[in-house]
Amino acid sequence: MSHARVLGIGLAALAAAAVAYAQTEVTPIPDTAPVESAPLEPAAPEAPTTWGDPQNGQTLAGTCAACHGLDGNSLDPMYPRLAGQSEHYIAEQIARFKSGERSDGMALIMKPFADMLSGQDARDVGAWFATQKSGAGVADDSVVTSGPYEGMRFYEVGQQLYRSGAADRGIPACMACHGPDGSGNPGPAYPHVGGQFASYTQQRLETFRNGTGAETGEPLFRIMAHIADRLTDEEVGALASYMEGLHPAADDLVASAAPVPAAAPAPAQAADEVPTAQDTLQADGEGLPADGAQAPAADPAATDAAPVDDGADADTDVPAEDGDTAADADSGAAELG
């Protein structure tokens, strides 16, 4: 009985092994046609771009208005001002958002919008914003209480660096590239920085200084990284604040020369309401007798008298100097008359 039980167990194990072997046997799949892959490049290369069309750019920029404002003057410091920015700079930044070179700040939000634009569309959008007038903010004028700039106003620290740089540390003046009023240089795509939100400018300066993002190989990025690396946190903030308040001096002249609205003219009186000389005299109680009779005619002899000189009234026309008597003043008035 025991031998039969052992034999049965052996046969069962052999059957299980046979089943397991059958399940592990690989059956090859018949060959099928290879999968076709589409090329990653566009079907046709884009046509060369030309100067941007502001009118078409205005239409395309309607999508940008939700964040950057209809005229490129954003109301939210989270989104930079684009008004007054050069066509070249905007088109170049849109291309970097598309390629993924720009990965700082709001790049993830910008990329899908940039992907929708062709190279010519980007130039058209840039041309539209270039025709708009940039706004400006107010620089921080609080007094620095400690450190190397103690006693200076905060924006003055940035003003000093922007206008003069710091030659001992190899920092050039910002205005050498961005202009005295921050309008930038459209040729080499140096951006318009005047009036830009301080928070955005500070974030970009910190990106340059830290060398973050995929733009690090770009020539202009390397220039800015070389400069920003020499700035302290305080100087970065002060420069950003100064540039937010920076604007063309001509804007101040235009504002000061604005005409003051004229006062509304007094309503004209009706003909029957115009007072006569007689009414005036009656109102003053002079010139007419109390009984209402006509005033006596003027004496003909009085009309032949010489007219009185206007300068004879010395008491009102010529004041007496200190130490002069009234008689001296009278004589002086007679000489003037």
pLDDT tens readout for residues 52-92 = 999 999 999 999 999 999 999 999 999 999 999 999 999 99
Handedness of CA 114, 118, 124, 126 (dihedral sign): positive
- Indicate whether 124 and 212 sit together in one domain: no
Rounded Cα gap, residues 137 and 155, in angstroms: 12
Quick one: pLDDT at residue 34?
A: 74
Structural domain contains residue 330:
no
- Indicate whether 206 and 241 sit together in one domain: yes
- Indicate whether 118 and 162 sit together in one domain: no
Structural domain contains residue 282:
no
**CATH at residue 235:** 1.10.760.10
pLDDT tens readout for residues 86-136 = 999 999 999 999 999 999 989 999 999 999 999 999 999 999 999 999 999
How many structural domains are present in the chain?
A: 2
- Indicate whether 192 and 122 sit together in one domain: no
Quick one: pLDDT at residue 13?
A: 72
Structural domain contains residue 209:
yes
Among 211, 233, 251, residue at a domain's last position: 251
Structural domain contains residue 29:
no
Structural domain contains residue 227:
yes
Quick one: pLDDT at residue 178?
A: 98
Rounded Cα gap, residues 213 and 93, in angstroms: 14
pTM of the full structure: 0.65
Quick one: pLDDT at residue 305?
A: 42
Q: Which is nearest to 56 in space by CA: 12, 113, 120?
A: 120
At 57, list the tokens. 């750019």
Burial of 214 (0-12, 13-18, 19+ CB in 10 A): middle
In the chain, the largest separation of any two C-alpha atoms, in whole Å, equals 177
Q: How far is CA 12 from the centre of its chain?
A: 87
Quick one: pLDDT at residue 63?
A: 96
Quick one: pLDDT at residue 74?
A: 97
**Contact call for residues 246 and 182 (beta carbons, < 8 A):** yes
Quick one: pLDDT at residue 12?
A: 74
Q: In whole angstroms, how far apart are CA 22 and each of 15, 78, 139?
A: 11, 66, 82
**Contact call for residues 57 and 129 (beta carbons, < 8 A):** yes
Domain that holds residue 160: 154-251
DSSP-derived secondary structure letter, 43: S
Rounded Cα gap, residues 313 and 336, in angstroms: 11
Q: How far is CA 127 from the centre of its chain?
A: 17
Q: Which is nearest to 225 in space by CA: 200, 203, 208, 202?
A: 208
**Contact call for residues 172 and 165 (beta carbons, < 8 A):** yes
- Indicate whether 158 and 241 sit together in one domain: yes
Q: Which is nearest to 125 in space by CA: 216, 63, 192?
A: 63
Rounded Cα gap, residues 239 and 236, in angstroms: 5
Rounded Cα gap, residues 145 and 152, in angstroms: 8
Quick one: pLDDT at residue 213?
A: 75
- Indicate whether 125 and 179 sit together in one domain: no
Using DSSP's 3-state secondary structure scheme, residue 153 falls into strand
In the chain (337 residues long), the average pLDDT of successive 10-residue segments reads 64 70 65 70 78 98 96 96 98 95 93 96 98 96 98 98 98 98 95 98 96 84 95 98 94 71 59 51 47 47 44 42 42 38
> DSSP of 82-94, one letter per residue?
-TT--HHHHHHHH
Task: Name residue 93's amino acid.
Answer: Q
Among 197, 225, 251, residue at a domain's last position: 251
